[in-house]
Structure 1
Amino acid sequence: MASIRKRNDKWQAQVRRIGHAPRTKSFINRADALRWIRQTELELDRTSLAYDPATLDRTTVADLLRKYVRDVTPGKRGHASEAKRIEVFLRYDWAKLTLARITPQVFTRHRDQRLREVEAGTVIRELGLLRTVFEVARREWDIPLQGNPVANVRKPKAASGRNRRLRADELTALLAACSNGRTAWLEPGIRLAIETGMRRGELLNMRCADLDLANGLLSIPETKTDIPRTIPLSDNAVLILRSLQDTGTDDRLLPVTANAFRLAWERCKRRASKTIPGITDLRFHDLRHEAVSRFFELGLSVPEVAAISGHKDPRMLFRYTHLKPEDIVVKLRNASQQVAA
């Protein structure tokens, strides 16, 4: 629909079309305004030939989410967690809105509400998923959205990265708690996380066929980044893996589900908290941070540590590195003494 009106000695023309942002322009002459309206409508007609604008009135956000979780999510490595997140999206009132009524402000309000409930990192991941859903709908499903309604929603500022290091007394308490538990695989899992810097999922996917203990190597065919890697093993890691290889009853070296491992880890921390109360805030992923920091403390270079951890971006690798200032002081003093000598 087009309209024209005189305002402040100028002719203001506007063209509105379902599925497109309104277009407005001012002219001195009425004839120029009418000419611009005809040209704009022709342009919109050309770009909309392949689409049915009424689709936006018939399709809800929930329809897009269901199609995405059915057609796209199963092909992803983290499909289970993504499917659960979309299941939660479907419970919100905005999921019932048609695409003709969806606006960036809808997701701005959602962002503000979620920030009162969860951490900023969770909200950033939710907005990222929603943006991807709308982008796939626009580019691959012939949904005539003029723009992505999540693209211009400002992301909240992420919290500062964790710098949690594992103390020696905490490790002792954890291993003691493991011995009091009924899960024989938890202790080697914790030790391997510290020795190798592997993620929990990578640890649980280890198989006998991936081992080359004679040469001190472990192949990781399935990674978070979908880029396989082979990591060198410390002597301690070789001993742990050899014990798992000898006692294992399954092709997997740690034959347990991710949820069972998580629950065992939480129970272990609760037992350890009887002697170290502050250990309850330790996350299993912090052991990966601990491992990377130890690699650097051993004197390994950035490329060498990256080859073990699998980081492709040095900036991300440094986020996992938390060197102890007191250790750096010792190195500086030793270097100064050597120069003085």
Structure 2
Amino acid sequence: MQFHTELSPESLPYSLGLESRIVTIGSCFAEVIGQRLIDNKLNVLNNPFGTIFNPVSIAKLLTMAIQGISPDENRYVERDGIWFHYDFHSSLWADNQDELRDKLLACLIQTGDEIRKADFLFLTLGSAIVYRHNETGKVVANCHKIPGTLFEKYLYQIDHIRDDLTRLFKLLHKANPKLKLVLTVSPVRHTRDTLPLNSVSKSTLRVIAHELTIWNNWVAYFPAYELMMDDLRDYRFYEADMIHPNSQAHDYIFGKFAESAFDPELRGFMADWAQVSKSLTHRPLYGDNTSAHLQFLTKLLAQLETIAKRIDVSAELADVRRRLNQGEKQESQVA
């Protein structure tokens, strides 16, 4: 007897490897996946614009990055002495407008450069619900806790989203013909929009994601949303807010992603790195200068030196060498 339906995603038509360059953009789920890729030592620019839920703002920001367009001077806003920009997440802020302008320009330049060099773009669509600034009539990426009366909230029309993303994908492909795109719909539930409207929103995004994969052979869909809704399908896999998937759910979905998207070499490396990462966090019970711990560090150093032939582990090597030197010094003082 089975008590849940396990979803085993099909392999993507292209595989991520240990040397792949990756950019993640979109909702907080994109950032979660990006961080797990970073934890496994992949080269990732992780959600540089901050959490961006709606596809309208995602398309606008990526277009600005690729075409070298500066942030709109009329979209800066000040709240409680802190400056923000309506096209970016509130994690990008500054004490004055000039400082923020420099920060946003640097972010756009970096993202544009990385998109042109990247092998993969991991793009997560969060919600088709948007907020439009009444004064300018333009959609914002974030309201920055400005009074809600200044905005109109509504469901963005499906044809407009399709057109925005179609234009974006053509631009991306022209800027970097070798780029492969992994498209997902975020499993985060936007309950503030009401559950019925959240369902309409996610359905809209899912339809568009399907169409884009049919029209573009360099775009593939990974079913993160379906894994959460139909495979895990249990509130124990949510945080206490009943909105965000918890770490156990993220681990499960990322594991499915690895099975679907990673080449054999990368999957093998992940297994090895998991053991090394565990060793890096180990701290001895009886001090750093015991012979057993010094042998442990020596073995760990040798493992890292082998791994360093394939990837950058300079920070980990420096930490282990420091701990080993410190332990040996303490041992000599005791002797």
TM-score relative to the length of structure 1: 0.24
TM-score relative to the length of structure 2: 0.24
More strand by share: 2
Q: Which is bigger in relative contact order (C-alpha 8 A, separation at least 6)?
A: 2
| Bigger Cα Rg | 1
